[in-house]
């Protein structure tokens, strides 16, 4: 399903206006220190320049931005740095992983194509060597007949080389396309199976007991004049909504409070583009096209609406080499998100729980490989602290293999109790994607190791670059947080109490009361 071409007007938003619009209370000093780091770690990418670790102060590396291919639509527009040799050498482990994750990846096809590519590369290299030998022979004194024979041999080798090189390019392109379906490997502690096999990692609080008949958030939203689904359905279609009155303030309060709390942990705030190139969506591990895609594509372009800020934040450092001293890079990004919700239906998706457009604050981390599990624990701890502060009853799940998606090495989901809906509902997740995304986005770092001086003319040898690990986690998905707050904080008189941490961001409002009619 695609959208008609969109006509958008862009409004410049400086960092100062961002803070003045969102923050309703002074920013603490440690937060200002975090903002000061922003200019040191976020650099323009046209081109991205990194000063290499070198004895020479003039040693600068330029990494060109990814460019779309001008070739036919069948050719991949980008190439992932997939370790095909590792896949071949660990075939059994990869095969088990594909099965456990319920993936349809064609491992046999990948290995066969890789073997064919290796053999063809050897053939190409052999012909190149023959051409070089012919060229060397022609430099000496030769009989005219011998020279003529070598000229003909050189022409023949050139024609053969051109054909083989074309075949090699086609084979490499096909290998890239087929290999993209192979999912990330899985943490050894992840439960094997479907969603029902997921393990409870932690449980906080207990369901609130009510002494009066409870309402769901749809009824509360209607009675308190907070949410209008009917008008939005006429204007935009199903699964859209208007927020009204105190609900608008509640959305802003949730976002402001979340940003201020997460920034205290050293995260840099961002607002992101909400339209990105399809290739960026693919590189992050999502499928922008297909019958069951969750991504809205813009007709007649190579662009999509984002389903999460993880996608544009992942692209900030695309095709770049970072300094190890700059890591970790920790971002908290606000954006609107757009999802088709293909295949979603039934009572479990009613109201605000599953919608096409919503606001969200997303955490994103780039770090050294050896640190990613530590940061995964930090992200889930931040989420748990936020939801505990709001007084929610929730459980943290270690998601089973079949529910991980392609990029995640391990994923923790948090499900909160929603009394009006009578069930737990997912309000956030935290994923460690290891180097799955960085190999596709081309994000590396150069270790801070001593420069080695080679024997040849004293040239310095830089340490080899490595791929960063990326992690993402939901800090606040506004609609589902509203479901939790409205349903858990409802009172017998029909009002809803605002949790204490949000009140300074609500202009002093402590209770949402029924309107006088």
Neighbours of 410 (CB within 10 A): 23
Neighbours of 124 (CB within 10 A): 16
Neighbours of 270 (CB within 10 A): 21
User: Do 281 and 414 belong to one domain?
Assistant: yes
User: Do 405 and 493 belong to one domain?
Assistant: yes
Expressed as residue numbers, the domain containing 148 is 82-178
CB 106 within 8 A of CB 181: yes
Domain boundary (146, 178, 210) is at 178
For residues 204-215, average pLDDT: 95
User: Do 100 and 236 belong to one domain?
Assistant: no
CA 104 from centroid of its chain's CA atoms: 21
User: Do 174 and 213 belong to one domain?
Assistant: no
Confidence of residue 343 (pLDDT cuts 50, 70, 90): low
User: Do 174 and 262 belong to one domain?
Assistant: no
Is 62 part of a structural domain of the chain? no
User: Do 475 and 326 belong to one domain?
Assistant: yes
Is 115 part of a structural domain of the chain? yes
User: Do 417 and 290 belong to one domain?
Assistant: yes
Is 48 part of a structural domain of the chain? no
d(CA 507, CA 382): 25
Domain boundary (123, 145, 178) is at 178
User: Do 258 and 215 belong to one domain?
Assistant: yes
User: Do 207 and 284 belong to one domain?
Assistant: yes
pLDDT exceeds 80 at position 301: yes
We report the CATH number of the domain holding residue 140 as: 1.10.287.40
User: Do 340 and 216 belong to one domain?
Assistant: yes
Residue 285's nearest CA partner among 299, 275, 297, 295 is 295
Domain boundary (145, 178, 211) is at 178
d(CA 310, CA 272): 10
Is 76 part of a structural domain of the chain? no
Phi, psi for 71 (deg, rounded to 5): -80, -175
d(CA 393, CA 205): 5
Count of domains in the chain?
Answer: 2
Which tokens belong to 211?
A: 């002494």
Reduced to 3 states, what is the DSSP secondary structure of residue 427? Answer: strand
pLDDT of residue 7: 36
Which tokens belong to 253?
A: 């309060």
| pLDDT tens digits along 400-414 | 999 999 999 999 999
Reduced to 3 states, what is the DSSP secondary structure of residue 442? Answer: coil
3-state secondary structure 345-402: CCHHHCHHHCCCEEEEEEEEEEECHHHHHHHHHHHHHHHHHHHHHCCCCEEEEECCHH
pLDDT exceeds 90 at position 131: no
CB 307 within 8 A of CB 286: yes
Name residues whose C-beta falls within 8 Å of residue 350's C-beta, 6 or more positions apart in sequence: 218
Is 310 part of a structural domain of the chain? yes
| pLDDT tens digits along 367-388 | 999 999 999 999 999 999 999 9
pLDDT of residue 75: 52
Confidence of residue 48 (pLDDT cuts 50, 70, 90): very low
User: Do 229 and 104 belong to one domain?
Assistant: no
We report the CATH number of the domain holding residue 466 as: 3.30.930.10
The model carries a pTM of 0.82
pLDDT of residue 475: 98
- Mean model confidence pLDDT for the chain: 84
With a pLDDT cut of 70, the percent of the chain lying above it is 81
**DSSP code, position 258:** H
Is 29 part of a structural domain of the chain? no
Phi, psi for 267 (deg, rounded to 5): -90, 140
User: Do 409 and 323 belong to one domain?
Assistant: yes
pLDDT exceeds 90 at position 270: yes
Is 75 part of a structural domain of the chain? no
Catalytic positions are 339, 354, 426, 429, 480
Q: Which helix (H) or strand (E) holds 253?
A: helix 246-263
Is 281 part of a structural domain of the chain? yes
């Amino acid at each position: 399903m695609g959208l008609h071409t969109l006509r958008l007007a862009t409004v410049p938003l400086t960092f100062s206006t961002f803070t003045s619009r969102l923050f309703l209370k002074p920013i603490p000093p440690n937060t200002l220190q975090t903002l000061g780091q922003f200019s040191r770690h976020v650099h323009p990418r046209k081109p991205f320049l990194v000063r290499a670790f070198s004895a020479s102060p003039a040693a600068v590396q330029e990494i060109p931005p990814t460019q779309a291919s001008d070739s036919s639509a069948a050719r991949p527009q980008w190439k992932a740095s997939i370790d095909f040799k590792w896949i071949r050498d660990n075939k059994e482990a990869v095969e088990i992983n594909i099965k456990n994750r319920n993936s349809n990846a064609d491992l046999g096809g990948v290995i066969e194509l890789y073997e064919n590519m290796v053999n063809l590369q050897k053939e190409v290299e052999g012909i190149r060597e023959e051409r070089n030998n012919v060229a060397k022979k022609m430099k000496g004194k030769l009989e005219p007949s011998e020279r003529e024979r070598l000229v003909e041999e050189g022409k023949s080798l050139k024609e053969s080389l051109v054909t083989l090189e074309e075949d090699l390019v086609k084979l490499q392109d096909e290998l890239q396309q087929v290999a993209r379906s192979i999912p990330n490997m899985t943490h050894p502690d992840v439960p094997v199976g479907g969603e029902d096999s997921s393990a409870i990692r932690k449980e906080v609080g207990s369901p609130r007991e009510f002494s009066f008949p409870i309402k769901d958030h749809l009824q509360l939203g209607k009675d308190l004049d907070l949410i209008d689904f009917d008008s939005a359905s006429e204007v935009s279609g199903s699964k859209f909504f208007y927020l009204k009155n105190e609900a608008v303030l509640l959305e802003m309060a949730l976002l402001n409070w979340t940003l201020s709390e997460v920034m205290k942990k050293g995260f840099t705030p961002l607002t992101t583009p909400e339209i990105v190139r399809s290739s960026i969506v693919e590189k992050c591990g999502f499928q922008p096209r297909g019958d069951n895609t969750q991504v809205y594509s813009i007709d007649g372009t190579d662009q999509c609406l984002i389903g999460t800020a993880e996608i544009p934040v992942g692209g900030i450092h695309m095709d770049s080499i970072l300094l190890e001293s700059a890591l970790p890079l920790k971002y908290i990004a606000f954006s609107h998100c757009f999802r088709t919700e293909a295949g979603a239906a039934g009572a479990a998706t009613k109201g605000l729980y599953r919608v096409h457009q919503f606001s969200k604050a997303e955490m994103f981390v780039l770090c050294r490989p050896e640190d990613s599990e530590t940061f995964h624990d930090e992200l889930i701890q931040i989420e748990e602290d936020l939801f505990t502060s709001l007084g929610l009853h929730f459980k943290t799940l270690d998601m089973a293999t079949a529910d991980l998606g392609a990029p995640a090495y391990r994923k923790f989901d948090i499900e909160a109790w929603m009394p009006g809906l009578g069930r737990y509902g997912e309000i956030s997740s935290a994923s460690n994607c290891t180097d799955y995304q960085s190999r596709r986005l081309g994000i590396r770092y150069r270790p801070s190791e001593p420069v080695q001086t080679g024997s040849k003319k004293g040239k310095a040898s830089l340490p080899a670059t490595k791929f960063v690990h990326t992690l993402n986690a939901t800090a606040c998905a506004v609609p589902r947080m509203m479901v939790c707050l409205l349903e858990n904080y409802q009172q017998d008189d029909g009002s809803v109490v605002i949790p204490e941490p949000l009140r300074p961001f609500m202009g002093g409002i402590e209770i949402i009361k029924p309107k006088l009619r």
